[in-house]
Amino acid sequence: MTSLIERSIRSAVLLAALALMPVVQAADAPLRARDLGVPFEGTPGACNAITDVAGVEVGHATLISGDGPLQMGQGPVRTGVTAIFPKGRSHSGFVRAGVFVANGTGELTGRAMIDETGLLSGPVMFTGTGSVGVVRDSVMSWYRRQLGPDPQKLFVHLLPTVGETYDGFLNDSFGQHVRQSDVFAAMDAARGGRVQEGAVGGGTGMIAHDFKGGIGTSSRRLSQRAGGYMVGAIVQANYGSRAQLTISGVPVGREIQDLMPSKGQRKDGSLLVVIATDAPVLPDQLRRVALRATHGMARVGGMSGTTSGDIFLAFSTAEPGAPAGNLITAQYIDPFAMNPIFEAAVLATEEAIVNAIVAGRTMTGIDGNTVQGLPAERLQQALRKYGRLNPVPKITAPEGCQ
Amino acid sequence: MTSLIERSIRSAVLLAALALMPVVQAADAPLRARDLGVPFEGTPGACNAITDVAGVEVGHATLISGDGPLQMGQGPVRTGVTAIFPKGRSHSGFVRAGVFVANGTGELTGRAMIDETGLLSGPVMFTGTGSVGVVRDSVMSWYRRQLGPDPQKLFVHLLPTVGETYDGFLNDSFGQHVRQSDVFAAMDAARGGRVQEGAVGGGTGMIAHDFKGGIGTSSRRLSQRAGGYMVGAIVQANYGSRAQLTISGVPVGREIQDLMPSKGQRKDGSLLVVIATDAPVLPDQLRRVALRATHGMARVGGMSGTTSGDIFLAFSTAEPGAPAGNLITAQYIDPFAMNPIFEAAVLATEEAIVNAIVAGRTMTGIDGNTVQGLPAERLQQALRKYGRLNPVPKITAPEGCQ
Amino acid sequence: MTSLIERSIRSAVLLAALALMPVVQAADAPLRARDLGVPFEGTPGACNAITDVAGVEVGHATLISGDGPLQMGQGPVRTGVTAIFPKGRSHSGFVRAGVFVANGTGELTGRAMIDETGLLSGPVMFTGTGSVGVVRDSVMSWYRRQLGPDPQKLFVHLLPTVGETYDGFLNDSFGQHVRQSDVFAAMDAARGGRVQEGAVGGGTGMIAHDFKGGIGTSSRRLSQRAGGYMVGAIVQANYGSRAQLTISGVPVGREIQDLMPSKGQRKDGSLLVVIATDAPVLPDQLRRVALRATHGMARVGGMSGTTSGDIFLAFSTAEPGAPAGNLITAQYIDPFAMNPIFEAAVLATEEAIVNAIVAGRTMTGIDGNTVQGLPAERLQQALRKYGRLNPVPKITAPEGCQ
Amino acid sequence: MTSLIERSIRSAVLLAALALMPVVQAADAPLRARDLGVPFEGTPGACNAITDVAGVEVGHATLISGDGPLQMGQGPVRTGVTAIFPKGRSHSGFVRAGVFVANGTGELTGRAMIDETGLLSGPVMFTGTGSVGVVRDSVMSWYRRQLGPDPQKLFVHLLPTVGETYDGFLNDSFGQHVRQSDVFAAMDAARGGRVQEGAVGGGTGMIAHDFKGGIGTSSRRLSQRAGGYMVGAIVQANYGSRAQLTISGVPVGREIQDLMPSKGQRKDGSLLVVIATDAPVLPDQLRRVALRATHGMARVGGMSGTTSGDIFLAFSTAEPGAPAGNLITAQYIDPFAMNPIFEAAVLATEEAIVNAIVAGRTMTGIDGNTVQGLPAERLQQALRKYGRLNPVPKITAPEGCQ
């Protein structure tokens, strides 16, 4: 019996030590969920980001200015633009894509084209609701600058793909502060490798589960047996109530009932998800992949609220095939062999959302409205309570991620 | 001026002669719309039937028995079953397929599977509404007879594809007279070549535009420039009001307001369409092809009534590709090059519906309910009035159609 | 025999006279299809326009400037904006709506919201493809001007509804010439009563069946027995090949093979249709109504080409019901009693398309590209040949249409 | 410090006592998840079953016979039929309904009708894949017995609603053992109150997360503020891998890696869900409710495998409204006020699935294939490990549940 007591005491001390252990964070590498000991399933790529899918490039333009009361048209401004290029900025052509709408009170321009032909051209853009139009038209303008004034070359860029979530709690959304130059800046900034998360780009003014949200990303490498493909996700997380927040099975939202936004619970918000893969998948299979973002969202506790624009897009960077006349020859995955890709899509979406929340820092916007960042130690405390904190939290040092 | 008058007279005499010219019909070759001088666009295949698509086999089982008042469960019986095998009775595997529902108050079992995977196994079956279940289960039984008691082989046949339209004006629909043996008979009877039209198989008790309807078929050969592919359609036509009936642009229904069913205008009924092609087309493109049956229906005046089950399925007999591991390599048509196939689908559907009506013969069913066949001379009279009767009606002598 | 010849001669003379008969056109009332003797089914409202549905207001802003070679960003400009307000400019709230996409290679912003909730706020806007974004954002701005800087009031206008077709054959589409002021002008110009057709507003640079196309409208009054409701349609017609063009069953396109656009047949183009009704119809029924625009298009010969953006929206101006708490009490039409509305939608769409073509006048745009207007006499000639020209063509004098 | 140790000891003793405490089970009341201390969110109704929605009646017919090797057509038999009547056996008419397909490799007859009109007539039936047809046709026959041979009365029952999952690991599925009499037995047995779970009715031969699955049910009562409505779910659970199994956030599947089916992991299987509510909800909102079953499934770890038929149906028992002529007056919930119903649907689905697994008992079927039931103590052990076992497990004594 004595030894039992001793073991109990030793455990308690160890736990206390862990609780006090400071989380070390490199200056230029903000913390991500895994760095805090949050356990996830599956094996991520080098950057644990959508850019692990070769060719994918992400760029942000972040607009933060002003403070104090809302002066519509003047600010304060907490918004931005994110560009996600499937095959890099210099590529002009189609990739295969599919869209699923879990709840449609949002916008994704370009969707009808993808639904009909299974093809996506140009980047997928994320922004705030008030700026969808300028982002859409500016994508056309950017290609005009890029490709020159040639209607034949530009024809493929007539239907840009722009999604949004609503940042009106922190941002002067109706002021429509995004300019063409901001869109160009986001597109010009696109690169592979590490992806900034949190309050950047389109995610600048976003809120998730009543914590500061925004951009998050993650990836999964399929086993060699399943083809060794890469699946990556990037989200703009702006949805969910506190009570629903679940991380790795732990009811974090019920554990942290304080730290609410300054005016109480927000509306439903929205979740944008883009899933990329280098697996050769046909458009109708990509629609199925996109649907699985629903499962990823559900694992974090989301239920797709009635005013939530939960719109998910999946694309494949695999060569759509060499056309010979009207015939295309292509290789693609058997529709009955999609499970590893489905699973990777679920898991990457789940982790990307959690990363968006973990990356969140407290922000004050219009009218002094304030949203709290999720404190790392509170998250760890909750995970520990339910036996889910990974035992040796350490900073992810992604070798090979540039 | 004299020669003008002479030419006028000569034309008038020729027209008069044509008008009086009896339509010759071979005993074993019932008339089809082209035989009567109905003009259509495009070039049909040898049989002007869905069976012009190599591999397609069609079989009917027709149940006609009893007369007089309805005795539910006893009859009278005016129903049947039609089997349409994409690649012949002996083929067991998948073809690519897509479904479009123009108005959904009908049934097509197996549709969810096609929507999800783009794959169809086994035949598409047509029957009356009351017999969908027995036909569905019997398809499984037929394959058990065919392939032996091997779950591995049979697994692909767990979700048979059965469509229906309602034959309750002429048939004891609720009596559910179709038996497994009838389903087997239709499947066993499937063959290529000429396809019986009108009151046969699933079409036995059907009504179209208040004339006797049922099964009709047609095909179109694409130009060599468009790939030379074949597109065929088969319909079970059981829809439409008289006033709407339009044939080759002529308001035939308004020209023939008599010859109505014995109890006045019927309910909306339904239209089943199956479109086959040997063009290599992906499932999402086949859904687009299926949608074009709507245009074909509209050209005959149909508007998809509110209780109409207008369900359209398109499949491709092209090899779905050789799987190597989980990868399939396949050739398919550029989604931007679908127009010739779309047009062929529209035109073949239009002509198939008209063929179904032209093949209709007056039928009396339950309670003495009677539906008139469209008289050939009345149709020709209407076409002539609007300058649309082809000048030299002659019997289609389909060389090469066996 | 003599009398036969005499009658023939007399007929010929009469026909010649009709052919030469000048069509009288009032200066301020451009011709519409019925004015030329084109026969249609059903009974239109006072204006034979979508504005016959009480509350609907339509406004155009038309941008025509420059000539000669394309200087991207400079012009020539042949484009514009059309605003269709369901319940007038001063109404700010929801109406019920439903969308159907016959072929999706186009854009309709705001669609996901309508799909999800069945609700439409603000106007439906038509423009050219290059200007969707500026129109979308400007609708938000217009409401900000209209309603003041109040996020609560503006919230309902976060997802504007903007459709497009591509005017790049005549217009410097990639030059994106539409400005916020043009959008405001179209919205401010919205009124009930007569609707300008042809090369106005969003329809300015459009082409239909290789003739000049653009905006067209029509309406149908339901019988009292069917509720006496009004159904109106407005189209932006920019689709279709010449060979397909069919008017009132007559193969007009095959009869008029000359007068082609200066560089031969165009691409597929697109068809936008908005259908309005004052009938109380639920959103899922409105989606069904929207689908019937497909039948209307098919009656004019359209087949929804593979690059066609054929997107159809139907809305009801009936009061969506008075909410009490979370409960809404509303009256609506039995889903099984939709046929009269379906038929009216088909017929109004058909006539609206023909009106768009009839209203077309020859236009020259970028690079000297020229599209011909359909000459009234050629259309009448074709209809006459097939016995479909109404015997007494007269100018529609719409009493009661302001 | 002493008191801390004492408290630790006291806690440890209490936990040990709880671990040893036998779970008491009444002879006639099989255990359910809550009885074992599994924590769930929300407040269930009296029976914690779909029958808590007034009017809903459930009946089962269970077919278990034979042992040993599969003799196709002879057995062994492990299958059955479940009938779910929205408003009781004696009601013949429509209720509003909506369907969502998360993954479509399954069957739900009657779906097109529901999609189109939003109306469901008769019961929703669950069975094994091999018997969908006989169940469908027998529902028609049952109504013929019930309502008499009157086509007018029977017309509404032409398109029965039958779902399935595949029981071929334990059952002679291709033997098609269900007879009309079995279907009648299930329908005749339908009643309100307690619902049998596990290996009964359609769920007899089913497998969930590699444990014995089958039928499960649960319900949630909305707060008075949200209208006080009831939402209930019933599932036929036949899906999921062991590794994925998550219960109340606990990775139960990874904790219990033994007790696998005799031939290793099964195929994807399928999940059928029916959600009932007495809230007045329109069909398009019910489709949204049905979609939320996806979130419920995801909370138990399911990801909708590629061959999974995950088909979800929601219906409302609220009066669809009194028709006056063609007009229906009805009350329904504001589409923007659906969140409480969505949440209830998610939670009831989640618990119904867990109940199906908890109710599972080890079963041996064809060829000696054996599936293990999830042992209560192993489940409790896993929950305890992660701090999620409810402290005072007690048998649910549902007062008011008859």
- Phi/psi of residue C127, nearest 5 degrees: -155, -175
In chain B, the residue whose alpha carbon lies closest to the alpha carbon of D141 is: B174
Can you spell out the DSSP letters for C295-357?
HHHHHTT----TT-EEEEEEEE-S---EEETTEEEEEEE-GGG-HHHHHHHHHHHHHHHHHHH
- Given the residues D52, D182, D310, D316, the one annotated as active site: D310
Q: How far is Cα C319 from Cα C331, in angstroms, rounded to an integer?
A: 9
Chain segment A18-50, per-residue pLDDT in tens: 333 333 334 455 789 999 999 999 999 999 999
Do C273 and C298 touch, CB atoms closer than 8 A?
Answer: no
Q: How far is Cα A100 from Cα C247, in angstroms, rounded to an integer?
A: 39
Give the distance from residue C251's alpha carbon to the nearest chain D alpha carbon, in angstroms: 34
Measured CA to CA in angstroms, residue A74 lies from A68, A184, B312 at distances of 11, 22, 55
Chain segment D231-267, per-residue pLDDT in tens: 999 999 999 999 999 999 999 999 999 999 998 656 7
Q: How far is Cα B47 from Cα B399, in angstroms, rounded to an integer?
A: 8
The arithmetic mean of pLDDT across residues B41-65, rounded, is: 98
Please tell me the predicted confidence (pLDDT) of residue A320. 82
Residues of D in contact with A288 (CB under 8 A): 103, 306
Do D171 and D212 touch, CB atoms closer than 8 A?
Answer: no
* Contact at CB, A149 and C72, closer than 8 angstroms: yes
Q: Is B326 on the interface with A (CB under 8 A)?
A: yes
User: Could you give the percent of chain B with pLDDT greater than 90?
Assistant: 84
Which residues face A218 on adjacent strands? A233
Residues of C in contact with B296 (CB under 8 A): 298
Q: Is A333 on the interface with B (CB under 8 A)?
A: yes
Name the one residue in this structure whose structure tokens are 């989301």: A302
Task: Please report the number of interchain residue pairs, chain B to chain D, with beta-carbon separation below 8 angstroms.
Answer: 135
Please tell me the predicted confidence (pLDDT) of residue A393. 54
Which residues face C215 on adjacent strands? C198, C236
CA nearest neighbour of A161 among A114, A100, A101, A94: A114
The ranges assigned to domains in chain B are: 25-320+329-385
Q: How far is Cα A177 from Cα D217, in angstroms, rounded to an integer?
A: 51
pLDDT reading at C22 higher than 50:
no
Q: How far is Cα C46 from Cα B271, in angstroms, rounded to an integer?
A: 36
Q: Which residue has the higher pLDDT, D329 or B286?
A: B286
Residues of C in contact with A145 (CB under 8 A): none
Fold of D25-320+329-385: L-amino peptidase D-ALA esterase/amidase (3.60.70)
CA nearest neighbour of D288 among D337, D236, D240, D239: D337
pLDDT reading at D212 higher than 90:
yes
Give the distance from residue D152's alpha carbon to the nearest chain A alpha carbon, in angstroms: 39
Q: For chain D, first and last CA: distance in Å?
A: 53
* Contact at CB, B327 and A336, closer than 8 angstroms: no
pLDDT band at residue D172 under the 50/70/90 scheme: very high
Per-residue b/e over B239-272, b at no fewer than 16 CB within 10 Å? bbbbbbbbbbbbbbbebbeeebbeeeebbbbbbb
Please tell me the predicted confidence (pLDDT) of residue B3. 52
Residues of B in contact with A337 (CB under 8 A): 326
Q: How far is Cα B17 from Cα D148, in angstroms, rounded to an integer?
A: 58
Mutate to test the interface with A, among B282, B319, B342 (most CBs of A within 10 A): B282
Please tell me the predicted confidence (pLDDT) of residue D293. 98
Q: CB count, 10 Å around CB of C362? A: 14
* Contact at CB, B327 and A334, closer than 8 angstroms: yes
Annotated active-site residue D308? The verdict is yes
Chain segment B293-337, per-residue pLDDT in tens: 999 999 999 999 999 999 999 999 998 877 788 899 989 999 999
Chain segment D59-68, per-residue pLDDT in tens: 999 999 999 9
pLDDT reading at B17 higher than 50:
no
Do A59 and A188 touch, CB atoms closer than 8 A?
Answer: yes
Residues of A in contact with C103 (CB under 8 A): 116
pLDDT band at residue B229 under the 50/70/90 scheme: very high
Q: How far is Cα D318 from Cα C74, in angstroms, rounded to an integer?
A: 61
Q: CB count, 10 Å around CB of A289? A: 28
Q: Is B328 on the interface with A (CB under 8 A)?
A: yes
Residue C302 CA to chain centroid, in angstroms?
A: 14
In chain B, the residue whose alpha carbon lies closest to the alpha carbon of C336 is: B306
Q: Which residue has the higher pLDDT, A4 or D47?
A: D47
Mutate to test the interface with B, among D81, D116, D119, D125 (most CBs of B within 10 A): D116
Q: Is B96 on the interface with A (CB under 8 A)?
A: no
Q: Is the dihedral of CA B233, B237, B239, B244 positive or negative?
A: positive
In chain D, the residue whose alpha carbon lies closest to the alpha carbon of B151 is: D174
* Contact at CB, D339 and A5, closer than 8 angstroms: no
Least confident of C182-196, C259-273, D357-371: C259-273
The arithmetic mean of pLDDT across residues C304-324, rounded, is: 92
CA nearest neighbour of A207 among A217, A195, A215, A196: A215
Q: Is C193 on the interface with A (CB under 8 A)?
A: no
User: Could you give the percent of chain D with pLDDT greater than 70?
Assistant: 90
Q: Is B133 on the interface with D (CB under 8 A)?
A: yes
Annotated active-site residue D181? The verdict is no
- Enter the pTM of the model: 0.93
Q: What mean pLDDT, rounded, does chain C reach?
A: 91
Least confident of B246-255, C4-13, C39-48: C4-13
pLDDT reading at D399 higher than 80:
no
CA nearest neighbour of A214 among A230, A201, A226, A233: A201
- Phi/psi of residue D219, nearest 5 degrees: -150, 165
Q: How far is Cα A43 from Cα B290, in angstroms, rounded to an integer?
A: 42
Q: Which residue has the higher pLDDT, B16 or D55?
A: D55
Among C107, C133, C159, beta carbon nearest to A134:
C133
Q: Could you give the count of Cα atoms lying within 13 Å of C63 in the half-sphere of its Cβ?
A: 29
pLDDT reading at C17 higher than 60:
no
- Phi/psi of residue D286, nearest 5 degrees: -70, -35
Q: How far is Cα B170 from Cα B79, in angstroms, rounded to an integer?
A: 9
* Contact at CB, B331 and A328, closer than 8 angstroms: yes
Q: Which residue has the higher pLDDT, B29 or B81?
A: B81
The arithmetic mean of pLDDT across residues D348-361, rounded, is: 98
Residues of D in contact with A5 (CB under 8 A): 5, 8-9
Please identify every residue of A annotated as catalytic: 270, 308, 310
Q: What angle do CA D181, D184, D186 make, to 5 degrees?
A: 110
Please tell me the predicted confidence (pLDDT) of residue B264. 65
Here the tokens at position A234 are 């990037």
Please tell me the predicted confidence (pLDDT) of residue A395. 54
Q: CB count, 10 Å around CB of B376? A: 19
pLDDT reading at A266 higher than 80:
no
Please tell me the predicted confidence (pLDDT) of residue B24. 38
The arithmetic mean of pLDDT across residues A174-182, rounded, is: 98
* Contact at CB, A328 and B327, closer than 8 angstroms: no
- Given the residues B241, B270, B304, B316, the one annotated as active site: B270
Residues of D in contact with B154 (CB under 8 A): 174
* Contact at CB, C295 and B291, closer than 8 angstroms: no
Query: Rounded to the nearest 10 degrees, how much is the dihedral formed by the CA atoms of C343, C344, C350, C354?
Result: 150
User: Could you give the percent of chain A with pLDDT greater than 90?
Assistant: 84
Q: Is D115 on the interface with B (CB under 8 A)?
A: yes
Three-class secondary structure of residue A67 per DSSP? coil
Chain segment C128-177, per-residue pLDDT in tens: 999 999 999 999 999 999 999 999 999 999 999 999 999 999 999 999 99
Q: How far is Cα A232 from Cα A234, in angstroms, rounded to an integer?
A: 7
Q: How far is Cα D141 from Cα B279, in angstroms, rounded to an integer?
A: 43
The arithmetic mean of pLDDT across residues A68-92, rounded, is: 97
* Contact at CB, B154 and D132, closer than 8 angstroms: no
Task: Please report the number of interchain residue pairs, chain B to chain C, with beta-carbon separation below 8 angstroms.
Answer: 101
Q: Is B291 on the interface with A (CB under 8 A)?
A: no
pLDDT reading at D340 higher than 90:
yes
CA nearest neighbour of B294 among B353, B381, B369: B353
Which residues face B256 on adjacent strands? none
Can you spell out the DSSP letters for A305-339?
-TT-EEEEEEEE-S---EEETTEEEEEEE-GGG-H
Residues of A in contact with C134 (CB under 8 A): 133-134, 137
pLDDT reading at A6 higher than 50:
no
Please tell me the predicted confidence (pLDDT) of residue D26. 41
Q: CB count, 10 Å around CB of A66? A: 19
Least confident of B100-114, D115-129, D317-331: D317-331
Give the distance from residue A292's alpha carbon to the nearest chain B alpha carbon, in angstroms: 14
pLDDT band at residue C379 under the 50/70/90 scheme: very high
Please tell me the predicted confidence (pLDDT) of residue D393. 55
In chain C, the residue whose alpha carbon lies closest to the alpha carbon of A133 is: C133
Please tell me the predicted confidence (pLDDT) of residue D77. 98
Q: How far is Cα A218 from Cα A246, in angstroms, rounded to an integer?
A: 17
pLDDT band at residue A9 under the 50/70/90 scheme: very low
Q: Is B92 on the interface with D (CB under 8 A)?
A: no
- Given the residues C131, C270, C304, C316, the one annotated as active site: C270
Give the distance from residue A103's alpha carbon to the nearest chain C alpha carbon, in angstroms: 7
Q: Is A74 on the interface with C (CB under 8 A)?
A: no
CA nearest neighbour of A159 among B339, C121, C365, C308: C308
Q: For chain A, first and last CA: distance in Å?
A: 54
CA nearest neighbour of B104 among C284, A116, D316, D282: C284
CA nearest neighbour of D174 among B257, A215, B146: B146
Q: What mean pLDDT, rounded, does chain B reach?
A: 91
Residues of B in contact with C337 (CB under 8 A): 306
- Phi/psi of residue D318, nearest 5 degrees: -60, 145
Q: Is C320 on the interface with D (CB under 8 A)?
A: no
Please tell me the predicted confidence (pLDDT) of residue A30. 75
Chain segment C179-196, per-residue pLDDT in tens: 999 999 999 999 999 999
Please tell me the predicted confidence (pLDDT) of residue A264. 66
Residues of B in contact with D137 (CB under 8 A): 130-134, 176
Per-residue b/e over D363-386, b at no fewer than 16 CB within 10 Å? bebbeebbbbbbebeebbebbbeb
CA nearest neighbour of A231 among A270, A280, A195: A280
Q: Cite the beta strand spans of A188-263 per DSSP E.
A: 207-208, 211-212, 214-221, 230-239
Q: Is D94 on the interface with C (CB under 8 A)?
A: no
Q: Is the dihedral of CA C236, C238, C244, C250 positive or negative?
A: positive
Q: Is B135 on the interface with D (CB under 8 A)?
A: yes
Ramachandran region of residue A75, left (φ > 0), alpha (ψ -120 to 50) or beta?
left
Residue D384 CA to chain centroid, in angstroms?
A: 26
The arithmetic mean of pLDDT across residues D306-327, rounded, is: 91
B370: Cβ contacts below 8 Å, ≥ 6 apart: B261, B262, B362, B363, B364
Q: How far is Cα B352 from Cα B311, in angstroms, rounded to an integer?
A: 15
pLDDT reading at B392 higher than 70:
no
Measured CA to CA in angstroms, residue A175 lies from A74, A205, C173, C176 at distances of 7, 14, 27, 22
* Contact at CB, D135 and B130, closer than 8 angstroms: no
A124: Cβ contacts below 8 Å, ≥ 6 apart: A83, A84, A86, A161, A162, A163, A274, A313, A315
The arithmetic mean of pLDDT across residues C219-243, rounded, is: 97
* Contact at CB, D309 and B112, closer than 8 angstroms: yes
Residues of B in contact with A328 (CB under 8 A): 331-334
